[in-house]
Each structure stands twice: as structure tokens, then as C-alpha cells.
């Protein structure tokens, strides 16, 4: 009986999730580059969610981790632009 209630609750909740609007990054230079590079591997929701804790040092470490650990194919000049955008628009 419990499984039926759980399944029913999920079926009722699914349309609400389907109506969620995608997160829009703040306007600014290189926003499209950030959306393309960061959004290629994960949702850009993470940017806004983590931003209250991120300063230049942390954003730099995060971008470098994506490149060096996870293999994001981002060239150094683009990484600098991405970091600058993140710090300006989502830095603490």
C-alpha cells in the first residue's frame, strides 16, 4: 500500500518539475562562454547556488578543477574570462 501512495505522490509532483524554468545567467561580457562551457557538463544552477560562498580564489580553484580534474576542454584565455565573469556576477 505504501508503494502505491509513493508512486501516486510522484505522479502528482512530476508536472510541477516539468514547469521549472531554466536558470538564466546574469547579463555581462562572456556570459555565453560561461553558459556553453559550464553548461556542457552540468546545469548552470550550480553557479547561483554556490555563489554566496565564492570569491576569486574559490572560483579560480573551481574552474581549474573542472579543467584539470574533470577534463573540461577550456583554454587558458577562456578560463580567465570565465573566472572574471563569475567573480563579477557571482562573487562574494
Write the pLDDT tens digit of every residue in 3-12: 665 555 556 6
- Residue 10 cell numbers, joined: 510522484
Residue in the structure block whose three cell numbers are 579543467: 67
> Which residue pairs from 41-44 have beta carbons closer than 8 angstroms and sit at least 24 positions apart in sequence?
41/66, 41/70, 41/72
Q: Give me the helix-helix angle, 56-68 and 76-90, nearest 10°.
A: 140
Predicted confidence (pLDDT) per residue in 61-70, tens digit: 999 999 999 9
Ordered by where they begin, the domains of the chain are 22-90 (1.10.760.10)
- The structure's pTM equals 0.74
- Mean pLDDT score, 64-77: 96
Amino acid at each position: 500500500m505504501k508503494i502505491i501512495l509513493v508512486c501516486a505522490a510522484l505522479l502528482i509532483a512530476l508536472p510541477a518539475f516539468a514547469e521549472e524554468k531554466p536558470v538564466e545567467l546574469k547579463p555581462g561580457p562572456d556570459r555565453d562562454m560561461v553558459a556553453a562551457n559550464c553548461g556542457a557538463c552540468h546545469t548552470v544552477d550550480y553557479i547561483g547556488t554556490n555563489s554566496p560562498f565564492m570569491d576569486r580564489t574559490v572560483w579560480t580553484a573551481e574552474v581549474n578543477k573542472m579543467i584539470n580534474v574533470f577534463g573540461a576542454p577550456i583554454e587558458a584565455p577562456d578560463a580567465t574570462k570565465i573566472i572574471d565573469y563569475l567573480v563579477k556576477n557571482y562573487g562574494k
